[in-house]
Amino acid sequence: MITPPRVRVMLAAAATVMLTLAGCGGSDSGGGEPAAAPTDKVLHLSFLQDPGQPPDPDIFYAGQGLLLTTNIYEGLLQYKAGTETPEIEPLLATEWTESPDHRVFTFKLREGVTFHDGTPFTSAAVKASFDRRLAVAQGPSYMVADIESVTTQGDYDVTVTLKAPNAAFLDYIACPYGPRMLSPTGLAEHGGDDFAQSYLTTNDLGTGPYTLTAAEVGSRYAMAAYPEYWGEAPYFESVEIPVITDVSAQQLQFNNGQLAAILHDLPSSAVQEYINDDKFANYSLPTMMSNYLYLNPKKGMLTDQANRTALLQAIDAEALVQQTYFGRGKVAEQIYPPNMLDAQFAKQEITHDPSKLTEIAAGLPADQKTVVIGYDSSNPDNQLISNLIQTQLAAAGLTATVQSYPTSEIYGWIGSDGMSAPDVFTALAWPDAPSPYTWGHISWDPDGGLNYLGCSAPPVTDALAEGLVTGAPEPFSTAGLEAVKTGCWMNVADVDDFMVAQPWLKGIEDSHVVTNPNTLRIATLTAQ
């Protein structure tokens, strides 16, 4: 990939400015010795922004906050921790089978498990939990929408039959946003007229190693170890998670030993500093995260597919990755996130050639030469990426401005006419579950929950539907190739989970799950 000299100079200048700005108020290791391990068995972590949704497993559908839902609640299956690729393992179900047509699933349930309200976990909870998720009808409800029946055979055996074949169903069951088991007794007692949504804003009805003890929106969350947990007792007896909205303040608290770790959203400048600071431990862990570009097919010059493709070709992905994700990411080669399809499938072939956009821009009317590049205000890396893209598009003849948007506003674009959304949007994203269908459906289908800018194409939808029935990789590869043809999406980078921790915090690699970004299984962490 050859970058014209003018673009190289402008990129270097932009990167220097951005890294300098990001360094102002950045991490300050402050010298001295590493902090000592705590003796009170309290683990101090943090959120950079409020999770934005209640820690209710049938509502929560974001990133920061998985730390709560995945440690408080449990599903029938889960993905194994400490691996580079997804691998399903038992959780509240000890054994399971799947019919050849992907319609009938049987589960043998774990005995001796109790909910946090003290009631026993039995097969009755499976139907109650699936029914509640469907009744709440929030983002993750699609995972249970096609269930035809849930049949129990005694207290510890259950059969789930689907209305139609679904090769992704076990992925739904095991993924971090999948259906969690909730106490039927608690749901009946606290159901009210909202299916216990109000109650689960500040309480929980799970079986996990931790219970929710505080949910002070915008301020603080906390958990405590559940004394009757069926598994091994956690080392940390409680977890304190303040909301620290200033990244510099968050780093200062960590550097001073007040936080045990920072699990997400460190800016690029801080990443480099922590990599070079041997006082702290740093981890770049495998994920299914990617940094995507979304183009708005409803605005200005981007209503034309050829123009969208030319704009994507003007993006120098290698330069973006080098400036933003050094040490924790690489240029993406597939349109899907990493660890989802074998490397030969869904190749993303977008050749870097800014000359095509330059030619198009020269012939555009003045009012179509201006584009807005948007990013989520909670993600400092995408601020840097947006500024670098601004420079690249300027070199091709467009006038680009950069604007931040809060997460709540971003989700409001979905299903709209697209006029309030930017022309270009950059976002760090990951699939609900490892099945290629989950990513393709939520991102590319007309009703997808992450199809922010409303682009779709019938060949994409048709191929995804075929893959859902068969589970074969070829239809999903076809869907991805058709998505690339629209010019609406580009996978810029496959991104690792970068975390920093005090050296006394042990077990991070073995507590990290490739499907679960921004979080750890706290019950397997220890202090030394």
Q: Are residues 465 and 511 in the same domain?
A: no
What is the pLDDT at residue 32? 57
Question: Can you give the residue range of the structural domain that contains 84?
Answer: 44-240+500-527
Q: Are residues 453 and 520 in the same domain?
A: no
Q: List Cα–Cα distances, 78 to 156, 176, 266, 434, in angstroms.
A: 18, 8, 27, 12
**Torsional sign, CA 483, 489, 491, 497:** negative
Q: Are residues 484 and 513 in the same domain?
A: no
Q: Are residues 519 and 468 in the same domain?
A: no
Contact yes or no for 487/348 (Cβ under 8 A): no
Q: Are residues 514 and 388 in the same domain?
A: no
304 within some domain: yes
70 within some domain: yes
**Torsional sign, CA 135, 136, 137, 143:** negative
Any idea what the CATH number is for the domain that residue 60 is in? 3.40.190.10
Nearest to 225 by CA among 214, 249, 209: 209
Q: Cα separation of 463 and 476, whole Å? A: 6
**Torsional sign, CA 228, 230, 234, 240:** negative
Q: Are residues 205 and 327 in the same domain?
A: no
Coil, helix or strand for 242? strand
Contact yes or no for 517/63 (Cβ under 8 A): yes
Q: Cα separation of 389 and 489, whole Å? A: 15
Residue 334 DSSP code: B
Domains contained in the chain, number: 2
Amino acid at 450: L
What is the pLDDT at residue 449? 83
Nearest to 55 by CA among 64, 47, 45, 46: 64
Q: Are residues 89 and 224 in the same domain?
A: yes
Any idea what the CATH number is for the domain that residue 351 is in? 3.10.105.10
- Bridge partners (DSSP) listed for residue 225: 210
**pLDDT tens sequence across 295-324:** 999 999 999 999 999 999 999 999 999 999
Q: List Cα–Cα distances, 170 to 3, 33, 74, 93, 288, in angstroms.
A: 45, 47, 15, 12, 17
Cα–chain center distance at 25: 27
Contact yes or no for 177/442 (Cβ under 8 A): no
Q: Are residues 312 and 388 in the same domain?
A: yes
Contact yes or no for 348/333 (Cβ under 8 A): yes
Q: Which residue has the tokens 């990167």?
A: 15
Classify strands 370-376 and 220-225 as parallel, antiparallel or unpaired.
Answer: unpaired
H-helix or E-strand containing 473?
helix 473-486
381 within some domain: yes
Q: Are residues 369 and 480 in the same domain?
A: yes
Question: Structure tokens of 527?
Answer: 């202090």
Q: What are the residue ranges in the chain where pLDDT is below 50?
A: 1-31
H-helix or E-strand containing 154?
none
Nearest to 185 by CA among 172, 175, 199, 173: 199
**pLDDT tens sequence across 16-63:** 333 333 333 333 444 457 778 899 999 999 999 899 899 999 999 888
333 within some domain: yes
Q: Are residues 203 and 217 in the same domain?
A: yes
475 within some domain: yes
What is the pLDDT at residue 527? 97
Nearest to 72 by CA among 526, 521, 528: 521
Q: Cα separation of 170 and 368, whole Å? A: 46
- Bridge partners (DSSP) listed for residue 284: 498
75 within some domain: yes
266 within some domain: no
Q: Which residue has the tokens 């976002």?
A: 427
Q: List Cα–Cα distances, 12 to 6, 7, 9, 18, 388, in angstroms.
A: 10, 8, 5, 10, 9
- Phi and psi based region of residue 187 (left: phi greater than 0; alpha: psi -120 to 50; beta: remaining): alpha
Q: Cα separation of 72 and 89, whole Å? A: 18
228 within some domain: yes
Q: Are residues 120 and 228 in the same domain?
A: yes
Angle between helices 458-470 and 436-444 (to 10 degrees): 150
Q: Are residues 356 and 421 in the same domain?
A: yes
Q: Cα separation of 269 and 363, whole Å? A: 39
